[in-house]
Amino acid sequence: MKFDFTALLQNEIRPALGCTEVGAVALAAARAYAAVGGTLLHIQMTMNGGMYKNAFSCAIPGTVEYGCELAAALGAYAGNWELGLEVLEGVTDAHVAQLREMQIPVEIAVDETKENIYILAEVTTTKGVGICRIEDFHANIVFVAKDDEVLFEAEKAEAEETGESFDFTDVTIADLFDYAKEAPLEHLDCIKGLIQMNCDLAAEGEKGAGLKIWKTLSAFQQKGELGGKDVIYDAQRMTCSAMDARMGGMPYPAMSIVGSGSHAIVCSMPVVAYGRHMGKTEEEIIRAVTLSGLVTIYSKHYTGRLSALCGCVLGGGSGAAAGIVYLMGGTAKEACAAMDHMAANLTGMICDGGSPGCSLKASAGVYSAYLSAMLAMEGIAIPHNFGVVGSSAEQTEKNLGRISDEGMVPMDATIIDVMQQGK
């Protein structure tokens, strides 16, 4: 193979408990506390705007609580930093009650000069001040100190820990398609793990969590006000159930991609639903999800890991559209057309942070992914160089990156201001 897509997938697919931004905040606080020990006195967290926005309304797994402050406090008080983004495993409402009795002050600040992922945790205890800094990637700890003693420092993330060492310059959608079709199946174990973990999460979510979108759809279907249980119904059931479980704080992990469990859910569950509904083999489904995952990573390379655009539907949804095309018997040409359709349809969807409302966005992304794939398979493609759609699918993704990086910065600042104002 011309490109090492196997290593790329392995680097970018990781388990995460709850929203990855909440996990990252808790991880930084947990590592800072572990550096010093003692009785908690005060917690100061400083983070970039995108991290603050995404964690602001996120449920904390294992509890009925939300937000940055409590995530930081729980990380320091009850978290296990050695578990990475599963740092809050085992945390319950009992820990929340104990923290409230302790009344530990937690202060949150936004550093507007930081564009990439950035979290600085300063945890003060009876034994001193523990410091931890995370940069660029959700679990990438680059600095740890106890008072003035540096315990760990790394100038930059190790290449094997990130996907940013990968050169996307000459990558085409056809390259991604060919890899998904031809890669030895044993190279795709991480995809098998992604499918299994997110299907397990969906099964838990079906029991009732978050906005209970699937239960609502089911209720209206039983009343005869919605159509039968077709493949789109199945896809929304699996996708929204997994999203509701994750955003509703259920204590079960999601497999993440490019640092987001929501992206991985949206890029995998619609494809799995189509494959199973249509009687495709396990290998065919794995290969289709491989293509979806690679398209998601490719898209997010340009729009950024934390952006003002909704990456779940534009990154994960575009991946899902390409994966569905694969299972429909399409080629890279149809996958490209489906990706262009997604951009033409949902580019205006903003990211206002992780919240239960992400399930609503995911539902819209599922329908759009199927429509995009169906249009492509009928030979229908939106003309090139129309609106955000570029001269190729690759150029379209680059255009989305420009919109995210150049055009949406004021939008992000406004969303953060709305959150801080609390109105």
How does pLDDT run across 106-115, given as a tens digit for each residue? 999 999 899 8
Residues 6+ apart with CB under 8 A from 178: 332
Confidence band (pLDDT; 50, 70, 90) for 296?
A: very high
Partnered with residue 413 across adjacent β-strands are none
Pair of tokens at residue 360: 């609503």
- Residue 393 pLDDT exceeds 90: yes
Confidence band (pLDDT; 50, 70, 90) for 157?
A: very low
Q: What is the 3-state secondary structure (H, E, C) of the chain?
A: CCCCHHHHHHHHEEEEECCHHHHHHHHHHHHHHHHHCCCEEEEEEEECHHHHHHHHCCECCCCCCECHHHHHHHHHHHCCHHHHHHCCCCCCHHHHHHHHHHCCCEEEEECCCCCCCEEEEEEEECCEEEEEEEECCCCCEEEEEECCEEEEECCCCCHHHCCCCCCCCCCCHHHHHHHHHHCCHHHHHHHHHHHHHHHHHHHHHCCCCCCCHHHHHHHHHHCCCCCCCCHHHHHHHHHHHHHHHHHCCCCCEEEEECCEHHHHHHHHHHHHHHHHHCCCCHHHHHHHHHHHHHHHHHHHHHHCCCCCECHHHHHHHHHHHHHHHHHCCCCHHHHHHHHHHHHHHHCCCECCCCCCCHHHHHHHHHHHHHHHHHHHHCCCCCCCCCCCCCCCHHHHHHHHHHHHHHHCHHHHHHHHHHHHHCC
What is the pLDDT, as a whole number, of residue 75?
97
Nearest 5°: CA angle at 7, between 354 and 318? Answer: 45
- Residue 386 pLDDT exceeds 90: yes
How does pLDDT run across 201-210, given as a tens digit for each residue? 999 999 988 8
- Residue 163 pLDDT exceeds 60: no
Per the model's pLDDT, the better-predicted residue between 423 and 170 turns out to be: 170
Q: How far is CA 343 from CA 216, 302, 365, 401, in A?
A: 28, 13, 11, 11
What's the residue count for the chain? 423
Confidence band (pLDDT; 50, 70, 90) for 161?
A: very low
What value does the mean pLDDT take over residues 89-106?
A: 95
CB 142 within 8 A of CB 133: yes
CB 30 within 8 A of CB 76: yes
What value does the mean pLDDT take over residues 229-238?
A: 92
CB 45 within 8 A of CB 120: yes
What is the pLDDT, as a whole number, of residue 158?
47
The whole-angstrom separation of Cα 407 and Cα 411 is: 8
Can you say whether residue 18 is alpha, beta or left, with left for phi > 0 and alpha for psi between -120 and 50 degrees?
A: left
The whole-angstrom separation of Cα 111 and Cα 40 is: 24
What is the pLDDT, as a whole number, of residue 121?
98
Pair of tokens at residue 183: 């890669």
What value does the mean pLDDT take over residues 382-405?
A: 95
Confidence band (pLDDT; 50, 70, 90) for 399?
A: very high
How does pLDDT run across 246-279, given as a tens digit for each residue? 988 899 999 999 989 999 999 999 999 999 999 9
What is the pLDDT, as a whole number, of residue 143?
97
What is the pLDDT, as a whole number, of residue 212?
92
- Residue 159 pLDDT exceeds 50: no
What is the pLDDT, as a whole number, of residue 282?
98
How does pLDDT run across 31-52, given as a tens digit for each residue? 999 999 999 999 999 999 999 9
Pair of tokens at residue 217: 């759809």
- Residue 229 pLDDT exceeds 90: no
- Residue 341 pLDDT exceeds 50: yes
Confidence band (pLDDT; 50, 70, 90) for 420?
A: confident
What is the pLDDT, as a whole number, of residue 162?
44
Confidence band (pLDDT; 50, 70, 90) for 1?
A: low
What value does the mean pLDDT take over residues 319-324?
A: 98
What value does the mean pLDDT take over residues 171-184?
A: 98
- Residue 85 pLDDT exceeds 80: yes
Q: Give the rounded percent of residues in the chain with a pLDDT score beyond 70.
A: 97
Phi, psi of 207 (to 5 degrees): -75, -15
What is the pLDDT, as a whole number, of residue 164?
54
The whole-angstrom separation of Cα 256 and Cα 168 is: 20
Partnered with residue 133 across adjacent β-strands are 120, 143
Q: One-letter amino acid identity for 157?
A: A
What is the pTM assigned to this prediction? 0.90
The whole-angstrom separation of Cα 35 and Cα 44 is: 15
What value does the mean pLDDT take over residues 74-78?
A: 97
